[in-house]
Chains A and B, each alone.
Chain A
């Protein structure tokens, strides 16, 4: 077991992938000598050279299209888009081209591309550098969407994303880059599409991903002091969604809270609750709840940004709201056929 940061884990995964597979190359702005905005690509230029670590002009549509084009003919590019907010400038290439080539060609071609993006608020960076936009990508069939919450998962999921033959949106939370965590010496890959129960409990399931996992764990700790046992699921991959782990958790506790930093309306929490209501309704003993960001852009000043990030603290209110005392276990009158 070694202890490394989220940034170091991502950096190590790049080193590993580039060493293992000559088809892997990096493309993006300020990723070479500069080492990437968050230093994730540090040292890769020195080790693998300019041909495989490609600094580019500020031309997001062109570099995204070029990465997709290279992937179509057998390369495995990793594209760094500094902030997920900037994805808007390459959205046609991502959503209309990368996501659809496999389908359009009836499987004759695929796009093994990873596009890494920093997301999340907390640094006072304002409207264009703080958003959590995973729902933009989960709405597009053909894209996989991965959001690790720990260094171990960042490492293992990035390698799996690079191995994957589909375009993968890989969202890194900027408040997690300095997070330290243990990673096994064998450094295993973490499969895409597998959620993880990060705290076992009996009373209430909290489903979260990325930074919100840490909010869920903190809430679970506080809840335990109040005699409430929380079962915390780190989704890790949003698309494809691990329904088995999700439904098993709901079956176990009968109560569900989904917590995400992104604004609430049409957020991915809505999809999770819809699937549970559709397919595991009878397992629910109380209405499923969402605890999410407000439906606003992310403000700049730290006190106003704190309002946006209030989700962390509202989570405990939801946990208390959802207890058996408030929502007694209903008598089931309907059974699944």
Chain B
């Protein structure tokens, strides 16, 4: 099941859009333009590979990192920057951080910043689809830091015992804020936990977009066929600190970062496209220029947008 040149170019475009967005989002946050940002730079293969080919009725739920999923599902870069600037033009009108947004028409479930608390919520979405007899799938994203929360295990167990149509997608970037994986997670393997629930578990290269896409498609087929959940652990690395709120780095080293930058998911696909003559350097450069212009425009749009009026602060506590 190899992807067509057109599909690969789509993946390339999505990853590059996320990268250019992440770069600018990080810079603006470090300049203090908005409160805080949890960068996902370096992890672009995951949102691109997972979301490619999802139906709008399939659901995704993200956490505090990984706004790339929102872009990959069709939220515009203008909307996300407006969200970071907390402006009126944000999908949440600036009342909540943008990763909490929900867009039912695009299958985006409203997420939460409580690490791990998203998993049972995503399980509920899969439960609803099973109850209604819909053939939709829910993708529950979480990080390595979340896997030791009770909520994650309770949610996984519930989904597995009921064979719900869900994919548990763990983005393992090896550090939960300052804590390295080996100091937080017993047993030496995250994916091994899938065994305990009697479901398929796959450990994959999270920086290879085709691998991510194919593993996800396999899991989605199983879910649609009624075979229940699949657990995917993908290894990746964030290129920026946990957040821009003065986070300090101890365990992460320059050498480690350099090793992972050498595995840049975008460079890898670029090489693949060029080596196989599926795209020309000019073509890729043109895509980049378009994206850069788009990001620049989005920033201007967000900066110029007004804040929501004061009276909106008390709206929508109840329906």
Binding site for B on A (CB under 8 A): 29-30, 33-35, 55-62, 86, 88-89, 123-129, 294-297, 299-304, 306-308
The answer to whether B272 has its CB under 8 Å from any CB of chain A is: no
Does A300 lie within 8 Å of B307, measured CB to CB? no
Q: Whole-angstrom distance between the alpha carbons of A300 and B151 in the complex?
A: 26
Please give, as numbers and ranges, the residues of chain A lying within 8 Å of B189 by CB-CB distance: none
Q: Whole-angstrom distance between the alpha carbons of A88 and B114 in the complex?
A: 10
Please give, as numbers and ranges, the residues of chain A lying within 8 Å of B183 by CB-CB distance: 55, 57
14 interchain pairs, CB-CB under 8 A: A33-B178, A33-B250, A56-B184, A57-B183, A57-B184, A59-B148, A59-B149, A89-B149, A89-B151, A124-B35, A124-B86, A127-B96, A300-B94, A304-B310
Does B317 lie within 8 Å of A296, measured CB to CB? yes
The answer to whether B112 has its CB under 8 Å from any CB of chain A is: yes
> Provided the pairs A33-B250, A126-B97 are in contact, do residues A303 and B307 lie with their beta carbons within 8 angstroms?
yes
Q: Give the shortest distance, in Å, between B247 (CB) and chain A (any CB).
A: 9
Please give, as numbers and ranges, the residues of chain B lying within 8 Å of A62 by CB-CB distance: 148, 150
Please give, as numbers and ranges, the residues of chain A lying within 8 Å of B116 by CB-CB distance: 58
The answer to whether B30 has its CB under 8 Å from any CB of chain A is: no
Does A303 lie within 8 Å of B308, measured CB to CB? yes
Please give, as numbers and ranges, the residues of chain B lying within 8 Å of A55 by CB-CB distance: 179, 183
Please give, as numbers and ranges, the residues of chain B lying within 8 Å of A126 by CB-CB distance: 35, 96-97, 100, 113
Please give, as numbers and ranges, the residues of chain B lying within 8 Å of A123 by CB-CB distance: 35
Task: Write out, one digit per residue, whether chain B residues 173-188 have a CB within 8 A of any chain A CB (1) or not (0).
Answer: 0001111000111000
Task: Write out, one digit per residue, whether chain B residues 48-92 have a CB within 8 A of any chain A CB (1) or not (0).
Answer: 000000000000000000000000000000000000001100001
Among all A-B residue pairs, the 4 with the closest Cβ atoms? A301-B86, A301-B94, A57-B184, A124-B35
Please give, as numbers and ranges, the residues of chain B lying within 8 Å of A299 by CB-CB distance: 94-96, 313
Q: Give the shortest distance, in Å, between B200 (CB) and chain A (any CB).
A: 25
B34: which of A124, A129, A294 is its contact (CB, 8 Å)?
A: A124
Does B94 lie within 8 Å of A304, measured CB to CB? yes
Most chain B CB atoms below 10 A, which of A30, A86, A295, A306: A30
Task: Write out, one digit per residue, whether chain B residues 106-130 have a CB within 8 A of any chain A CB (1) or not (0).
Answer: 0000001111110000000000000
Does A304 lie within 8 Å of B312, measured CB to CB? yes
Q: Give the shortest distance, in Å, between B214 (CB) and chain A (any CB).
A: 30
Q: Give the shortest distance, in Å, between A17 (CB) and chain B (any CB).
A: 24
Please give, as numbers and ranges, the residues of chain B lying within 8 Å of A300 by CB-CB distance: 35, 86, 92, 94-97
Does A34 lie within 8 Å of B317, measured CB to CB? no
Does B117 lie within 8 Å of A89, measured CB to CB? yes
Please give, as numbers and ranges, the residues of chain A lying within 8 Å of B96 by CB-CB distance: 126-127, 297, 299-300
The answer to whether B145 has its CB under 8 Å from any CB of chain A is: yes
Q: Whole-angstrom distance between the alpha carbons of A33 and B176 in the complex?
A: 14
The answer to whether B36 has its CB under 8 Å from any CB of chain A is: yes
Does B250 lie within 8 Å of A301, measured CB to CB? no
Does A296 lie within 8 Å of B149, measured CB to CB? no
Q: Give the shortest distance, in Å, between B148 (CB) and chain A (any CB).
A: 4
Q: Give the shortest distance, in Å, between A84 (CB) and chain B (any CB).
A: 13
Q: Give the shortest distance, in Å, between A172 (CB) and chain B (any CB).
A: 17
Please give, as numbers and ranges, the residues of chain A lying within 8 Å of B250 by CB-CB distance: 33-34
Q: Whole-angstrom distance between the alpha carbons of A119 and B183 in the complex?
A: 28
User: DSSP majority for the A interface?
Assistant: loop
A128: which of B35, B112, B150, B308 is its contact (CB, 8 Å)?
A: B112
Q: Whole-angstrom distance between the alpha carbons of A230 and B307 in the complex?
A: 37
Please give, as numbers and ranges, the residues of chain A lying within 8 Å of B149 by CB-CB distance: 58-61, 89
The answer to whether B248 has its CB under 8 Å from any CB of chain A is: yes
Does B150 lie within 8 Å of A61, measured CB to CB? yes
Please give, as numbers and ranges, the residues of chain B lying within 8 Å of A129 by CB-CB distance: 113
Q: Whole-angstrom distance between the alpha carbons of A248 and B150 in the complex?
A: 48
Q: Give the shortest distance, in Å, between A174 (CB) and chain B (any CB).
A: 11
Interface residues of B in 246-284 (CB under 8 A from A): 248, 250
Q: Whole-angstrom distance between the alpha carbons of A35 and B246 in the complex?
A: 12
> Provided the pairs A57-B185, A299-B313 are in contact, do residues A128 and B114 lie with their beta carbons within 8 angstroms?
yes
Q: Give the shortest distance, in Å, between A87 (CB) and chain B (any CB).
A: 11
Q: Give the shortest distance, in Å, between A233 (CB) and chain B (any CB).
A: 29
The answer to whether B146 has its CB under 8 Å from any CB of chain A is: yes
Please give, as numbers and ranges, the residues of chain B lying within 8 Å of A307 by CB-CB distance: 310, 313-314
Please give, as numbers and ranges, the residues of chain A lying within 8 Å of B87 by CB-CB distance: 301
Q: Give the shortest distance, in Å, between B222 (CB) and chain A (any CB).
A: 29
Does B177 lie within 8 Å of A128, measured CB to CB? no
Please give, as numbers and ranges, the residues of chain B lying within 8 Å of A302 by CB-CB distance: 86, 307
Query: Which single residue of chain A is at the shortest CB-CB distance from B181?
Result: A57
Q: Whole-angstrom distance between the alpha carbons of A160 and B114 in the complex?
A: 31
Please give, as numbers and ranges, the residues of chain B lying within 8 Å of A34 by CB-CB distance: 177-178, 248, 250
Query: Which single residue of chain A is at the shortest CB-CB distance from B178?
Result: A34
Q: Whole-angstrom distance between the alpha carbons of A125 and B177 in the complex?
A: 17
Please give, as numbers and ranges, the residues of chain A lying within 8 Å of B150 by CB-CB distance: 59, 61-62
Q: A55-B179, A125-B36, A304-B86 are in contact. List 16 more A-B contacts (CB 8 A).
A: A30-B179, A55-B183, A57-B183, A58-B149, A61-B149, A62-B150, A89-B117, A126-B96, A126-B100, A127-B97, A296-B313, A299-B94, A300-B97, A301-B307, A303-B308, A306-B310
Please give, as numbers and ranges, the residues of chain B lying within 8 Å of A30 by CB-CB distance: 177-179
Does A128 lie within 8 Å of B146, measured CB to CB? no
B313: which of A33, A124, A294 is its contact (CB, 8 Å)?
A: A294
Q: Give the shortest distance, in Å, between A272 (CB) and chain B (any CB).
A: 25
Task: Write out, one digit per residue, whether chain B residues 147-169 have a CB within 8 A of any chain A CB (1) or not (0).
Answer: 01111000000000000000000
Does A125 lie within 8 Å of B310, measured CB to CB? no
> Provided the pairs A61-B150, A304-B95 are in contact, do residues A125 and B317 lie with their beta carbons within 8 angstroms?
no
Query: Which single residue of chain B is at the shortest CB-CB distance from A128?
Result: B113
Q: Whole-angstrom distance between the alpha carbons of A300 and B307 in the complex?
A: 11
